[in-house]
């Protein structure tokens, strides 16, 4: 037991750090933004350092319910980094309304996501997922007086609870028919004869997880929640929980259901194609940039699922690379949205208001163009590379029709990305003034760094990414 504790340092640090941040907020008051922000950021940095220190360890702890391995490590680093940035950008957005709950909730959400990414038991899976979700529901309605924010929180909660119910039902079926909640135990049972109960279990579990990654047809909440939630929270929703849920889904599919390829593969293929197509088509008519990015995330999840559908190590490597590039792109894109304020300081979310942005804020427009072309997967931007990896995995796993359908549908997606670029670059200036936002050096730095990385520079990191993602993915095989 004590030996086990030494292996879950990241989780321990997050728990303690989260509690400290909570206390700081409670006793010092919400006005001491600097102090509790710093406490939260340090906690995340320490947790990330602990993950790095544990690199190379491959063990299970607490009677095999949680695994400490490279796969979880990769996902956790990504989650912590995304959470870090989401905490960093918050005070400027909320200005007077910043409260200590925000960093605290994000810390606990990050803890939950870490558990999701490293769980290898249905019970820890559920605990991690709920810890994350409960924090997320509150975060969505963080602006208590804002109607849209409250609505987003409520919507997220109701639909999230429904999904949790489905997931739990699936878990109970799997447990009932296999007699264990342990992933490897379930996998052993799956290798034998399948029965209707097990298949139902698989379907319900995947449906519940599909909700978390907002794969079609479980995506309905995404545009509303993304639109309604405060932008830093939306940035968070679009980045870290996607990583955690995708990592969890990968683990469940490969680890627990691995032998029953025929059962899960067609579900994943359906989710992938439906997400790509609906994510692309649904985005076309959108006038709100946050809603549009919500559809874009649905669309991108579809591409990740193509890698997962391949079910090979190369496919999982593709998923991990995809997650990394996707998180960088999404955070960058949302940070650009955060910079869009009119002369009175009101946030601009309508796409037509972006007209002529390239003349007012050329740097910002160029960065956004990089993010959008990258999301569309147009080379030479780095967004092309993960798409290439997942398609390659699919082709090599004899899923040629899936690859062809996916890649053709990606052209539909390109349409709405280039439509925003059209608005920014080709259209005449709109009436909305977008003055240069002052005092956001952090935001500018993150936007610049991610845009540069996603331009051709990212290609130089391929050898490194390949090694890291290969060692992470190898854990599951």
Partner 1 sequence: MSGFPILSLMLAIPAVAAIACLFAGDKMARLIALGATLVTFVLGCVMWAQFDIGGPQWQFTERADLFGRFSWALGIDGMALMLIMLSVFLMPLCILASWDAIKSRVGLYMAMFLVMETIMIGVFCAQDLLLFYIFFEAGLIPMYFIIGIWGGANRKYAAYKFFLYTLLGSVLMLIAMIAMIAEAGTTDIPTLLNYDFPIEMQTWLWLAFFASLAVKMPMWPVHTWLPDAHVQAPTAGSMILAGVLLKLGAYGFIRFMMPMFPDASAQLMWIVFGLSMVAVVYTSLVALVQSDMKKLIAYSSVAHMAIVTAGLFAFNQQGIEGALIIMLSHGVVSAALFFCVGVIYDRLHTREIDRYGGLAVNMPAYAIFFMLFTMASIGLPGTSGFVGEFLSLAGIYEASSWVAFVCTTGIILGAAYMLYLYRRVVFGELTKDDVKAMPDLNPREWAVLAPLAAVALWMGVYPESFLAPMRGDVTTVVARLAPAKPAGDARLAAGKPQPAKAQGDTAHGSSHAGGVQ
Q: Find all residues with CB under 8 Å of 411, minimum gap 6, and list them.
A: none
Residue 241 · residue 282 · CB < 8 Å? no
The smaller minimum CB distance to partner 1, of residues 220 and 404, is found at 404
Looking at the DSSP assignment, which residues form a beta bridge with residue 75? none
Shortest separation between residue 422's beta carbon and partner 1, angstroms: 6
Shortest separation between residue 266's beta carbon and partner 1, angstroms: 21
Contact status: 396 vs partner 1 (CB under 8 A): yes
Residue 142 · residue 149 · CB < 8 Å? yes
The smaller minimum CB distance to partner 1, of residues 270 and 459, is found at 459
Which candidate, 349, 333, 323, places its Cα nearest to that of 450?
333
Q: How deeply is 262 buried, as exposed, middle or buried, from its count of CB atoms within 10 A (0-12, 13-18, 19+)?
A: exposed
Which one among 425, 432, 434, 453 touches partner 1, defined by CB under 8 A? 425
Contact status: 313 vs partner 1 (CB under 8 A): no
Q: Find all residues with CB under 8 Å of 129, minimum gap 6, and list them.
A: 112, 116, 164, 167, 212, 245, 248
The smaller minimum CB distance to partner 1, of residues 114 and 356, is found at 356
Give the C-alpha separation, 325 to 377, whole Å.
11
Q: Please give the residues from 341 up to 360 whose contact with partner 1 meets the rule CB under 8 A.
A: 358-359
Indicate the helix (H) or strand (E) that contains 68.
Answer: strand 66-68
Shortest separation between residue 428's beta carbon and partner 1, angstroms: 11
Q: Please give the residues from 171 up to 190 whose contact with partner 1 meets the rule CB under 8 A.
A: none
Q: Beta strands of 274-372 (E only): which ranges?
A: none
Give the C-alpha separation, 205 to 422, whole Å.
41
Which one among 60, 231, 299, 410 touches partner 1, defined by CB under 8 A? 410
Count the neighbouring beta carbons within 10 Å of the beta carbon of residue 15: 16
Contact status: 322 vs partner 1 (CB under 8 A): no
Stretch that binds partner 1, among 16-24, 217-225, 325-333, 416-424 (CB under 8 A): 416-424
Which one among 91, 459, 474, 476 touches partner 1, defined by CB under 8 A? 459
Give the C-alpha separation, 281 to 262, whole Å.
29
Contact status: 384 vs partner 1 (CB under 8 A): yes
Shortest separation between residue 82's beta carbon and partner 1, angstroms: 25
Contact status: 436 vs partner 1 (CB under 8 A): no
Contacts made by residues 462-469, CB under 8 angstroms, sequence distance 24+: 462/385, 465/321, 465/324, 466/317, 468/74, 469/74, 469/317, 469/320, 469/321, 469/324
Give the C-alpha separation, 249 to 212, whole Å.
9
Which one among 5, 158, 192, 426 touches partner 1, defined by CB under 8 A? 426
Shortest separation between residue 354's beta carbon and partner 1, angstroms: 15
Contact status: 430 vs partner 1 (CB under 8 A): no
Shortest separation between residue 457's beta carbon and partner 1, angstroms: 11
The smaller minimum CB distance to partner 1, of residues 170 and 279, is found at 279
Contact status: 440 vs partner 1 (CB under 8 A): no
List residues near partner 1 by CB under 8 A.
Answer: 358-359, 362, 373, 378-380, 384, 388, 391-392, 395-396, 400, 403-404, 407-408, 410-411, 414-415, 418-419, 421-422, 425-426, 459-460, 462-463, 465-466
């Amino acid at each position: 037991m004590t030996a086990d504790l030494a292996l879950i340092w990241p989780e321990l640090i997050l728990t303690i750090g989260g509690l400290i941040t909570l206390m700081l907020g409670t006793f010092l008051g919400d006005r001491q933004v600097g102090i509790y922000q710093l406490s939260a950021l340090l906690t995340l940095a320490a947790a990330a350092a602990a993950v790095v220190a544990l690199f190379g360890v491959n063990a299970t702890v607490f009677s095999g319910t949680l695994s400490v391995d490279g796969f979880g490590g990769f996902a956790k680093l990504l989650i912590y980094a995304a959470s870090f940035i989401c905490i960093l950008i918050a005070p400027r957005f909320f200005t007077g309304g910043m409260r200590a709950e925000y960093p605290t909730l994000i810390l606990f959400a990050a803890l939950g996501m870490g558990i999701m990414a490293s769980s290898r038991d249905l019970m820890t899976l559920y605990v991690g997922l709920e810890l994350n979700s409960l924090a997320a529901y509150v975060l969505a309605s963080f602006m208590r007086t804002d109607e849209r924010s409250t609505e987003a929180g409520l919507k997220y909660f109701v639909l999230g609870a429904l999904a949790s119910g489905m997931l739990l039902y699936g878990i109970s079926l799997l447990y009932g028919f296999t007699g264990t909640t342990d992933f490897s135990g379930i996998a052993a049972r799956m290798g034998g004869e399948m029965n209707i109960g097990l298949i139902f279990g698989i379907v319900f579990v995947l449906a519940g997880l599909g909700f978390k990654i907002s794969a079609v047809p479980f995506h309905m909440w995404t545009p509303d929640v993304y639109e309604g939630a405060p932008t830093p929270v939306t940035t968070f929703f679009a980045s870290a929980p996607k990583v955690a849920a995708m990592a969890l889904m990968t683990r469940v599919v490969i680890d627990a259901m691995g032998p029953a390829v025929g059962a899960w593969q067609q579900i994943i293929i359906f989710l992938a194609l439906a997400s790509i197509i609906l994510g692309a088509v649904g985005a076309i008519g959108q006038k709100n940039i946050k809603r549009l990015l919500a559809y874009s995330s649905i669309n991108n999840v579809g591409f990740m699922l193509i890698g997962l559908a391949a079910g090979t190590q190369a496919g999982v490597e593709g998923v991990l690379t995809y997650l990394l590039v996707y998180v960088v792109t999404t955070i960058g894109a949302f940070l650009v949205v955060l910079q869009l304020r009119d002369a009175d300081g009101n946030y601009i979310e309508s796409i037509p208001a972006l007209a002529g942005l390239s003349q007012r804020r050329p740097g910002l427009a160029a960065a956004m163009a990089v993010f959008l072309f990258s999301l569309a997967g147009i080379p030479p931007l780095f967004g092309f590379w993960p798409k290439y990896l997942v398609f390659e995995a699919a082709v090599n796993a004899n899923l040629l029709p899936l690859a062809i359908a996916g890649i053709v549908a990606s052209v539909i997606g390109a349409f709405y990305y280039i439509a925003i670029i059209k608005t920014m670059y080709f259209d005449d200036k709109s009436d909305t003034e977008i003055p240069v936002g002052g005092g956001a050096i952090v935001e500018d730095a993150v936007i610049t760094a991610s845009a540069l990385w996603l331009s051709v520079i990212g290609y130089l990191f391929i050898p490194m990414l390949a090694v890291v993602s290969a060692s992470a993915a190898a854990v599951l095989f």
